[in-house]
Structure 1
Amino acid sequence: MAIMLKTPQEIEKMRRSGRVLRQVHDAIKPLVVAGATTMDLEIAANAKIDSFGAKAAFKGYHGFPAALCTSLNHQVVHGMPNKDTVLKDGDILSIDCGVIVDGYYSDAAVTYAIGTPSAKTKKLLEVTEASLEAAILEAVVGGRLGDISAAVQEMCEAQGFGVVREFVGHGIGKAMHEDPQVPNYGSRGKGPRLKAGMVLAIEPMINAGAAEVKVLKDGWTAVTVDGSYSAHFEHTVAITKDGPQVLTR
């Protein structure tokens, strides 16, 4: 495992990338309403990315066709936008996006409820997002990677939710995926020591039911095996001597 530490100057470049990405997410948010299609969101995202002179990180990555991953309800990650998927009351939609600015990547995801979610769905979203915040607090110099992973697992499993194993967070920088992998399950005190200059994409993927997932025939879309809803939240986080800095806040 070759973990690449970033200089303060590189982290500032990644922060600029993260700010652009946050504005892309902010531009999409008002459009996530009943009656919209996931392609509507894709079109808006591309327009916003283009307005900054940035590049969509996902489009063309191993052949992925879009700037956004739009994963609906029981879709966990890597759902593809299309004009036939119309959002309706009671749905949840994960929107994952990455951009490249001046050669540096940023990556962030949010899951939205459309209309009025059920009590269980609302709890799923709240707990998944809270587990991301708990994980970020563990991203400190001298800690262990397992501390971040355990923070997610402990919080989500305590609420009876399934923690996805097949997909994990990752290091990020001049490439979308760098070492180390950042699982959402693990043991405190285990794994690589956390050092200043590490930048991680921390991304809990949590199912309302069982943890098991499968990938559909399209080769991309991952879904829960039991059909339960799945939530996904993500930030790009720099580990610094002054504590964790969320570059995509």
Structure 2
Amino acid sequence: MKMNSKVKRTALDEKLDSYRRQGYIVPPKNIIKNEKQIEAIKKSAVINTAILDHVAEHIKEGMTTLEIDEMVYRFTKEHDATPAPLNYHGFPKSVCISINQEVCHGIPSKDRVLQNGDIVNVDVSTIYHGYFSDASRMFIIGEASEEAKKVVEVARECMQKGIEQVKPWGLLGDVGAAINAHAKAHGYSVVREIGGHGVGLAFHEDPYVSHVSKAGTGMLLVPGMIFTIEPMVNVGTARVKEDKKNGWTIYTADGKLSAQWESMVLVTETGYEILTC
């Protein structure tokens, strides 16, 4: 019997085709999650948030970043999950911990001790039953300078400004435009080379989420898309440099402070849902 080669088209297919014909950048269907996938990703996200809550309860002056890494590993395994960063392209630890002028991808070490006044980004990513989640928070150790406290807060506001731009059938470029405008209004800059990313079925998926994009540009936002918004806000220049020895850690080029918050966001039929924080 000859099989019908035509695949049944859905209302979503028709709508995506309509936008495509108008010249929009339409997401591929494989990054639009279905209900079953979304529910599984949410379970991973619950664990990821719980890990950051656990860190928040225990992080303190005098603790080494290796101790935080070990705490994250234990808590993750106790919840039948796996730290996504561990051995990812050779990354040697379970969590990224970046301090002061470190922008991202700081490697935990027994020699790195948290000091009074430090601002610390703890970036946690989790695999649970094959589904991925991701988020980071800033922590202030003891009494930090006014500048340090300000950049931490502005970075959080930048993330929220970006999240507020997420809406079905909107454009991804609006997210980065809102973030960049808010940072600039406070005299800060936003890292250009590193952005957010799709997540859920893999650690890093499309789309790439620029935090310095132009409003009214970029990929169409479709219900079922999940991605991170994670602006890295610098006190000085937006330029960064990589640690040549470990090949991972990114620093501000001028040695000034940087802060970052990250949430994972689902595009819904009516707006957005924050999955990790």
Separation in 1 of the partners of 2:214 and 2:113?
Answer: 40
Residue 109 of structure 1 aligns with an amino acid whose one-letter code is S
1:216 to 230, 233, 243: 243
Structure 2 residue 157 is the aligned partner of structure 1 residue 113: no
Structure 1 segments (4+ residues) deviating >2 Å:
none
Residue 164 of structure 2 aligns with an amino acid whose one-letter code is L
Structure 2 residue 32 is the aligned partner of structure 1 residue 5: yes
Structure 2 residue 35 is the aligned partner of structure 1 residue 38: no
Residue 226 of structure 1 aligns with which residue?
A: 254
How do residues 1-249 of structure 1 correspond to structure 2 at under 5 angstroms? 2=28, 4-217=31-244, 218-249=246-277
Separation in 1 of the partners of 2:112 and 2:253?
Answer: 20
Separation in 2 of the partners of 1:32 and 1:82?
Answer: 15
Separation in 2 of the partners of 1:154 and 1:234?
Answer: 18
- Partner-residue secondary structure (3-state), 1:13: helix
Separation in 1 of the partners of 2:58 and 2:162?
Answer: 29
- Partner-residue secondary structure (3-state), 2:31: coil
Separation in 2 of the partners of 1:137 and 1:223?
Answer: 28
Give the TM-score, by structure 2 length.
Answer: 0.88
Q: How many residues align?
A: 249
Q: Deviations over 1:173-232 (max 9, x none)?
A: 211111110011011110111100100111011111110100011100000010001101
Question: Which 5+ residue runs of structure 1 have no aligned equivalent?
Answer: none
Q: Deviations over 1:82-138 (max 9, x none)?
A: 111001111111100100111110000111111111111111011100111111111
Q: How far 1:31 moved relative to its partner? A: 2.4
Choose 2-11 or 143-152, whichever is displaced more: 2-11
Q: How far 1:248 moved relative to its partner? A: 0.9
Question: Which 5+ residue runs of structure 2 have no aligned equivalent?
Answer: 1-26
- Determine which structure has more spread, i.e. the larger CA radius of gyration: 2
